[in-house]
Amino acid sequence: MKRAGVAYLFPAERRVALSNLAPHYFFGAFRESHGLDLLFDGEERSLLDRKRPNEVAVLLVGLSYEPSYLTFVRYLQANGIPVLRSDRPAGNFPLIIAGGVAPSLNPQPLLDICDAVLCGEAEPMHDDLTALLDSPATARELIAKLPYAAKPGRKPRIIQAAAGRFAVHSHPELAAEGNEFGGRTVLELDRGCIGKCYFCAARHLYGESREADRHLITHAAEAAFKRGEDIALLGTGLESVSYFDDLLDRAIAAGRTVSLSSVRIAGFTPQRAARLVAAGVKTVTLAPESMVAATRSRIGKPLSDESLFAAFELAKEHHFRVKLYLMAGLPDGDSAAEAQALIAFFTDLKKRKLTVPLSLSVSPFCPKPGTPFRDKALMPKKEYEHFRAAAMRGLDKLMPQMPIEWFSWRESLLQTALGRLGTDGAQFLAAYADTGNLRTAEKRSGIRLEDAASEIAGITVATGRKKSA
C-alpha cells in the first residue's frame, strides 16, 4: 500500500477532541502546507479526506493526560496498526510521532510504541516538523538529531515557545463540528503560571507565565464576534494576563459573552467580578485544593480562609455559580482532619449565608513527574474511601442539593503509574490494547499498577526554550 500525507489523532471522541486546542493548532499549521487531516476515537476515517489511519505516511498523536494512552493503543489495534514499534516494519506502517503534556512529563512508556516522542510545545517544533513531513522517508535520521525527542532512560528536554510567540485558538473551519464550550471560539491566553503550586505540572513543566500574542488573540476574538460567536478563554492565570480585561471589554462592546477556564482567587476582585458579569460570565471555577489553610501553604497555594470567604461573597453579590475544586490525599496531610475541615468550611459558609449555587469536585492528589511533589505517594484507595465517606456524612446534611463529583482513585492510580513507568510500560499498554481490560493487562504484562505507582522512574525534567518561526 502506498502511504502518503499526514493525520493528527487526538484519541478522544470528536467533540471532546475538538474542545482541546491541539487539533486546531495542527490543523491550522499543516492543513494548507501538507494536507493534514484529523482523526478521532471511534471513527475509522479522517474528518475531511476520509482516509484510514493506516493510509497516511505520518501519524501525529496528541496525548494530554495519561489515561488517553489506553484509548490511543486501542485505536491502533482497532485499525490494524501493531502497537509495539518492533512489530511494525519500517515503511509498512505510518511513522507514529506522539507529543503532549503527559508524554512530555514521562515519555518512557511510549518509547517502544511510537517512532518518536517529542517533548514540549508544538510551535518551536514547527520547522523540524515541516522538514519531517517534507521527507517522511528520512524522518528517522532527523528525529535522532532533535534534542527534544525523548530517549530511553534519559531525561526529556522540554522545548517551550517564548512569550508572545504562540497564539492558539479554535480554527474557524472546524467551528461547525462544535465543542464542549457550547460552540464558543476557544482562545488560549497563557502558559506556565505565576503561581508556584508544588503539585502542578502546568507550572513546573511550562515554567513562568507566558502570554499568547496579544495582537493575534485579539484579532481571533474580534473575528469570532463578527461571525456572531461567543468566546471561551483558557489559561492558567487568566486574570493576570495583561489584555484579559481588554478582551472582556471587547466582548461586552460586541454584545457577546465569555466563559472562563478558572480564575485564581487572588485575582477575583470586586472590579473584575463586575466586569465578568457584564461579559456574561455565569460560573467561576475556584480551586483552593484544601480547606485547611496550613495545607494550602504547604502545597504552595497560600490562601487565607478569609480570602476564600471573600470570593464567595463576591460570587453571591454578582450571582455567579461556583465550581469548587479540591484534592484529597495531599502530601504530608491528615485526611481525617481534611474531611473535618471541609465540613467546617461549609458549616461556616452557611452561617455566613454565602451558599451560592455551587458544585464540588474532589480528586485524589497525583504526584506528577517534574514537580517538587514528584516523589510523594498517591493516597491508598481505602484512605480515599474513608475521606469520601467522612466528607459525605457531613455534606449530605449540610448541602444536600450540591452536586458532588468524586474522581476515580483508579484513574489517579493509572496516571501515577504511567507517570512513573519506564520503557517496560509499553508491554502493559500493548497487553491492554489486546484485551481492553486493566487487570488482564496487569497479569499479561507482569506490571502491577500499584507497584509501578509506588516506584520512581528516576527521570528528571530539563527545560529549554527556542523561539518559534
Q: Which residues bind ligand SF4 (CB under 6 A)?
A: 193, 195, 197, 200, 202-203, 236-237, 264, 301
Nearest distance in Å: CB 202, ligand SF4:
4
**For residue 8, what are the β-bridge partners?**
38, 60
Which contiguous run of DSSP H or E holds residue 339?
helix 335-351
Minimum CB distance to ligand SF4, residue 264 (Å): 5
For ligand SF4, which is the closer residue by CB, 37 or 338? 338
Residue placing its CB nearer to ligand SF4 in the complex, 18 or 234: 234
At 436, the amino acid letter reads G
Dihedral pair phi/psi, residue 396, rounded to 5°: -55, -40
What are phi and psi for residue 295, nearest 5 degrees? -65, -45
Strand order in the sheet with 258-260: 185-188, 231-234, 258-260
To the nearest whole angstrom, how small is the minimum distance from the Cβ of residue 182 to ligand SF4?
24
Measured in degrees and rounded to the nearest 5, phi and psi for residue 258 equal -125, 145
| Residue from 90, 100, 93, 105 nearest 141 by CA | 90
Contact residues for 145 (Cβ-Cβ < 8 A; gap 6+) = none
How near is the Cβ of 368 to ligand SF4 at its closest, in Å?
10
Q: Residue 375: which H helix or E strand, with range?
A: none
Closest approach of Cβ 437 to ligand SF4, in Å?
Answer: 33
Taking the CB of residue 284, how many other CB atoms lie within 10 A of it? 23
Measured from the CB atom, the residue of 250 and 301 that comes closer to ligand SF4 is 301
Q: Which helix (H) or strand (E) holds 321?
A: strand 321-328
Measured from the CB atom, the residue of 198 and 432 that comes closer to ligand SF4 is 198
- The cell numbers describing 201, all together, are 505540572
CB 109 within 8 A of CB 69: yes
Give Cα 97 to chain centroid, integer Å.
19
Helices 305-317 and 335-351 meet at what angle, rounded to 10?
40
Asked if residue 99 lies in contact with residue 64, where contact means CB atoms within 8 angstroms, the answer is no
Residue 80, phi-psi category: left (phi > 0), alpha (psi -120 to 50), beta (remainder): left
Bridge-partner residues for 203, per DSSP? Answer: none
Q: How far is the CB of 236 from ligand SF4 (least distance, A)?
A: 4
Nearer to ligand SF4, 208 or 246 (CB): 208
CB-nearer residue toward ligand SF4: 149 or 197 = 197
Q: Do residues 326 and 286 touch, judged by C-beta distance below 8 A?
A: no
Please, what is the minimum distance in Å from the beta carbon of residue 105 to ligand SF4?
14
One-letter amino acid at 460 equals T
**CB 85, min distance to ligand SF4, A:** 34
- How many DSSP H helices and E strands does the chain contain? 18, 16
Nearer to ligand SF4 by Cβ, of 236 and 416: the residue is 236
User: Based on CB atoms, which residue is closest to ligand SF4, 296 or 466?
Assistant: 296
- CB under 8 Å to 169, separation ≥6 — which residues? 21, 24, 185, 186, 187, 188, 217, 220
Nearest distance, CB of residue 291 and ligand SF4, angstroms: 16
Distances (CA, A) of 244 to 213, 276, 282, 294: 12, 11, 17, 31
Nearer to ligand SF4, 115 or 289 (CB): 289
Nearer to ligand SF4, 193 or 457 (CB): 193
Beta strands of 350-424 (E only): which ranges? Answer: 358-364, 404-406
Nearer residue to ligand SF4 within complex by CB, 102 or 202: 202
Q: Which of 104, 240, 217, 206 is nearest to 465 (CA)?
A: 206
Q: How far is the CB of 72 from ligand SF4 (least distance, A)?
A: 25
Q: Report, in Å, the least distance between residue 390 CB and ligand SF4.
A: 25
Residue nearer to ligand SF4 on the CB measure, 193 or 453: 193
6's enclosing H/E stretch is strand 6-10
Q: In whole angstroms, how close is the CB of 12 to ligand SF4 at the nearest point?
A: 22
